[in-house]
Amino acid sequence: MPVASEFTLFSGGAQGAEAEFGSQAERFGVQEVNYSFEGHKIERSRGLRMLTQEELMRKDVSLTYVSKLLDRNFSNGPLIRMVLRTIMHQVDGGLEVFVVGAILDNGTVNGGTGWGAEFAKICNKPLFVFDQVKNSWFSWEDNAWKPVAEPVISKAHFTGTGTRFIEDNGRAAIAALFARSFGTGQ
C-alpha cells in the first residue's frame, strides 16, 4: 500500500463531493489543498489555499466557450466565473482527476463539475467519474466513457471534485476509493 501521507488531494472544499473527498483525505492522513477565494462559502478549512485576484485571473476562461463545450448555458455572474477558475486550479494541481456526478447523454458531466471533467480531458489527465445515477465508475479513454470496476488513486497529486448534491452511493464510492488506495484508514 502507498503511504497516504505522501499523497495530496487538490479540491475546493465545497459542500457535497468536495467536502466528502476532504473528509476521507483527513481520515486516511492524505494531505489536502482546498482552493478558494474571498467570499466563497466552503465546508473544508483544512489545507485552505486562498487564491489571489492575480491567480484567479490567470485561469480566466470564456463562459461562451465553456457553455458551448458543455452544451449548456452558464450565467455571466462573478461567482460562477470564480468557481470555474478555482476548478481549473484544482485540475491543474492533480495528475489524475476523480469526479462524482452524472454523465449526461452528450458525454459531459452535469453541473459546474462538468467543466472540471472537460478541463481534465483538455489537459489529457487520467479522468474517473463516479456516475451516481448509474451507480458505477467510468474512465475517459480514447474519447469515450468506459466502465471501470474499481479505480485506485495512483498519483501522489490527485484531484477530487464533484456535485454539491452528493448521494449516499457517491459518499460510499469516495470512501471505497480511499480504502482501496490506502488501506483501512486511521
139 contact partners, CB below 8 Å, separation of at least 6: 126, 127, 128, 129, 145, 146, 148, 151
Residue 117 is placed in which grid cell? Answer: 471533467
Neighbour-count burial for 74-89, b at 16+ CB within 10 Å, e otherwise? beeeeeebbbbbbbbb
Domain count, the chain: 1
Residue ranges in the chain modelled with pLDDT below 70 = 185-186
Antiparallel, parallel or unpaired: β 136-141 and 144-148: antiparallel
Residue 18 is predicted with a pLDDT of: 96
Q: Are 105 and 27 in contact (CB under 8 A)?
A: no
Residue range(s) defining the domain that contains residue 64: 4-182
pLDDT digits (tens, 9 = 90+) for 125-162: 999 999 999 999 999 999 999 999 999 999 999 999 99
Between CA 49 and CA 58, with CA 53 as vertex, the angle to 5 degrees is 95
Q: Look up the pTM and report it.
A: 0.93
Q: What is the CATH number of the domain that holds 121?
A: 3.40.50
Rounded distance, CA 3 to CA 5, Å?
6
Residue 108 is predicted with a pLDDT of: 93
Instruction: Please state, as a whole number, how many other Cβ atoms lie within 10 Å of the Cβ of residue 124.
Output: 8
